[in-house]
Structure 1
Amino acid sequence: MTLLATEFAQWAAASFWVVSVLLLAFSTLAALVQPRIAARRATRKDQPPVSIALPVKLLENCFERAQESAFAQQYPDYEVVAASCEPDSDASRAMRAIFARHPERSTRFLCSTAKIAASPKVDNLVAPFSEAAYDTILMKDANVVLAPDELVEHMRQLAPGVGLVCAIPYCADTPNFASQIEASIVNGPHARMLYLVSCFRQGYGVGKIMLFRRSDFLRAGGFAAISHTVGEDNAFGHALARVGLRTVFSHRPVRQDLGRRSLVEVYQRQLRWSVIRRGDALLTFLFEPFNQAGPAIVAAAVAAPFMGLGPLQGAAATFMLWLVVENLLSSAKGRSLTWGAPLILVAREIVMLTVWIHAWTTNRVVWAKASFGARGDASSHKPQTSERAAVAARKEG
């Protein structure tokens, strides 16, 4: 390599490193201040009745605790509606047993038979979204554990001009190494970037919870607007934006319990989300390496001579910077630290960079142990005269 080429590589690496470190600093600061900023924007006072929609698919370790949390809400008036495409599955039976333990609450179990979407999750949501008793709907995933005041707090964000309220997720219940890797990804770089965009009044559809008005959903195109992709949450936000409604992140993060995971499961989940981002938010996807420690460590090694350091010194210093900053942020958020943090960070960076590269080469994703195309042909879905007429659902109980 010529001297000119070497200098160019060092300048490029130094520039990359500076951008990455600045992003680390600003996103960490945003993670600390976003709850206060978002809370000041939460201006809604009334508490309309709500339908809590629970899509049911797999019976995971955290299923019962997460689904029971829907019944612990300190909210004046709400119903709980569950739906499954497999009404006789273990998860469906467990859901019915949970319903039986709560006779004080209005509940319904719906059998979803719709086949209108690229995503099986969207097909499962047709029934509860269309058959909900109330216009305001809260959908939550099966591993999301709601705090008792969570519905009250998220409702404060559904103010005029807001069409969709989501929450920044954080991972808990991580009993093995693979689940700790996924928690490091979600609680680290992913959460930091969501906190950062939220501080600038930006929001994305993140489907761990979604709070919205059905009337807004229908005005934005209903299921026809989200049926073409497995990234239905992000498509939902885009559809609402076209009718002048914003997507916002709540001031309250939402807990998702991971339970025991395999490395294959973690990789496939991260690949699914990465492929969706590549298809639906390309600019964000292109920028992702700047938010990762691995590329910054490599850049530091290349640019180290500018600072009179050796490559190993530059790489080690950058590694320690990321490790210390992220662990301090975790501590500030009240999350437990582990002596295995350095190894988890190394494994996380390998997974994230491998997933990012792999996402350029595939459109196939895995959801609920089945493989799907990330985007379907929206024109292949037959239009319906109304969303309620599109429902092929059987009420039970």
Structure 2
Amino acid sequence: MNLGEGLSLSEALTWFGAFHWVVSVLLLAFSSIATVMQPWLTERRAKNRLQPPVSVVLPVKLLEDSFETAQESVLAQSYRQFEALASAVDPQSEASQKMRRIFERHPEVATRFLASTANGAKSPKVNNLVAPFTEATNDVIFMKDANAVLAPGDLAEHLRQLTDQVGLVCAIPYGANAENLAAHIEASILNGPHQRMLYLASAFGHGFGVGKIMLFRRSDFLRAGGFHAISHTVGEDNAMAKALARIGLKTVFSHRAVRQDLGRRCMKDVYQRQLRWSVIRRGDVLLSFLLEPFCQAFPSLIAAALAAPLVGLTPFSAVAGTLCLWLASETLLSFAKGWRLSWDAPAILLFREAVMLAVWLQAWITNQVVWANENFDARTDSPRVVCTEAPLKPPVMK
């Protein structure tokens, strides 16, 4: 079979493989450099020197291994004035009781525990955020997931990014303290291609809604549509970034990453979590979703095998060389960032790539995702009202 004027199918595949391989390797190189350079580049853009009072919002649902460490890391911040508001749909859950005990150990911080009763949003996280966003005393809100661990000074450092042109500050998460194979695979996913792409975008001044940490002004959130603008999707972080962009405010990544302690993981949960994020990206950031195979190793290995004849190599040699290149790059990057490496890193990379490719393929054909052991349809509907709480209070300026 010939394509066009004398170009056979095998030749077309060879040239396509060469194109894919070159693009993938260039992305690997530039994103690795950006991952190292991003903290320095982004810190230079951090022009805000004000330290206004902050309302820290802590949504509570599941009790994970790192729950206590993560929540204590907030209350130990040396920021001059902040309050902490925790919220939960089930105020009597084990996680809620643990959160109350943590609050009791920190009488020096103004704390409140709120019961969430909102139920109109597609995302359970949004429903849980209505109460603390409504009751927050301050205009500046810092929302942190229950498994995100802050380093000392993080609150003040993230505030440096909240300039007049910025509406949302997020932090790029990295996986740490993995204790079993599934956790190591998830750490490799978190610290691998997706994270490198976020660092690459951030190095050029671009940001995306990533919900581990979200720092914003409530007055901006209200101008952007409030809960009406984010109630229609399970990807509320990206929806908030888009809503703020519509009123002319940027989303940026902080110069400080945020640690996520993984502990022990179940492989099924890891797969379902990655599938949820992939389905959300397909719906909200289609171009990024379509380009993902260029960021993954497995498609590059296939491309290397296809392109091997162009450089006089056997497919096996091309695949082996590409795999070594990928491993060397990720090993050097891990050393540069201070991430933990284990002796079985090559096997973990291969497991990771198999999971990521399977997730990407399945994300084409499903809208069903699992979140906190519950099933959801990730299709985006038109925005709707979510508040069953009182209307949001006007922001308090101090």
TM-score > 0.5, shorter chain as reference:
yes
2:15 counterpart (2, 11, 15): 11
Q: Is the 8 A contact 1:113 1:123 kept in 2?
A: yes
Q: Is the 8 A contact 2:118 2:389 kept in 1?
A: no
1:233-244 to 2 correspondence within 5 Å? 233-244=237-248
Matched, 1:113 2:117: yes
1:86 counterpart (72, 82, 90): 90
- Identify the residue that residue 196 of structure 1 maps to in structure 2: 200
Offset, 1:217: 0.3
Q: TM-score, normalised by structure 2?
A: 0.95
- Identify the residue that residue 370 of structure 1 maps to in structure 2: 374
Offset, 1:382: 4.0
- Identify the residue that residue 59 of structure 2 maps to in structure 1: 55
Offset, 1:363: 0.7
Structure 1 pair 314–372 and aligned structure 2 pair: CA distance change class (3 A): same
- Identify the residue that residue 346 of structure 2 maps to in structure 1: 342
Matched, 1:357 2:361: yes
- Identify the residue that residue 23 of structure 1 maps to in structure 2: 27
Distance 1:146 1:127 in 2: 23
Distance 1:198 1:354 in 2: 27
1:318-337 to 2 correspondence within 5 Å? 318-337=322-341
User: 1:364 is matched by which residue type in structure 2?
Assistant: Q
Offset, 1:151: 0.4
1:291 counterpart (270, 295, 319): 295
- Identify the residue that residue 177 of structure 2 maps to in structure 1: 173
Offset, 1:376: 5.0
- Identify the residue that residue 303 of structure 1 maps to in structure 2: 307
Offset, 1:387: 7.7
Structure 2: segments with no counterpart, 5+ residues: 394-398
Question: Secondary structure at the residue paired with 1:183?
Answer: helix
Distance 2:296 2:233 in 1: 26
Q: Is the 8 A contact 2:231 2:385 kept in 1?
A: no
Q: Is the 8 A contact 2:53 2:81 kept in 1?
A: yes
1:219 counterpart (191, 214, 223): 223
User: 1:46 is matched by which residue type in structure 2?
Assistant: L
1:389 counterpart (375, 388, 391): 391
Q: Is the 8 A contact 1:364 1:373 kept in 2?
A: yes
Aligned length: 389
- Identify the residue that residue 262 of structure 2 maps to in structure 1: 258
User: 2:48 is matched by which residue type in structure 1?
Assistant: R
Q: Is the 8 A contact 2:120 2:385 kept in 1?
A: yes
User: 1:16 is matched by which residue type in structure 2?
Assistant: H
Q: Is the 8 A contact 1:223 1:387 kept in 2?
A: no
Matched, 1:96 2:93: no
Matched, 1:245 2:225: no
Distance 1:383 1:140 in 2: 21
Question: Secondary structure at the residue paired with 2:169?
Answer: strand
- Identify the residue that residue 233 of structure 2 maps to in structure 1: 229
Q: TM-score, normalised by structure 1?
A: 0.96
Distance 1:7 1:387 in 2: 63
Question: Secondary structure at the residue paired with 2:263?
Answer: coil
Offset, 1:302: 1.1
Matched, 1:159 2:163: yes
Question: Secondary structure at the residue paired with 1:53?
Answer: strand
Question: Secondary structure at the residue paired with 2:59?
Answer: strand
Offset, 1:358: 0.3
Structure 1: segments with no counterpart, 5+ residues: 392-397
Between the aligned residues of both structures, percent identity stands at 63
Q: Is the 8 A contact 2:56 2:84 kept in 1?
A: yes
Q: Is the 8 A contact 1:222 1:387 kept in 2?
A: no
Q: Is the 8 A contact 1:165 1:211 kept in 2?
A: yes
Question: Secondary structure at the residue paired with 2:161?
Answer: coil
User: 2:239 is matched by which residue type in structure 1?
Assistant: A
Offset, 1:375: 3.2
- Once the two structures are superposed, what CA deviation does each residue of 1:280-319 show, in whole Å capped at 9, x if it has no partner? 0001100000000000001101111111110011001101
Task: Please give the root-mean-square deviation of Cα atoms over the aligned residues, in Å.
Answer: 1.4
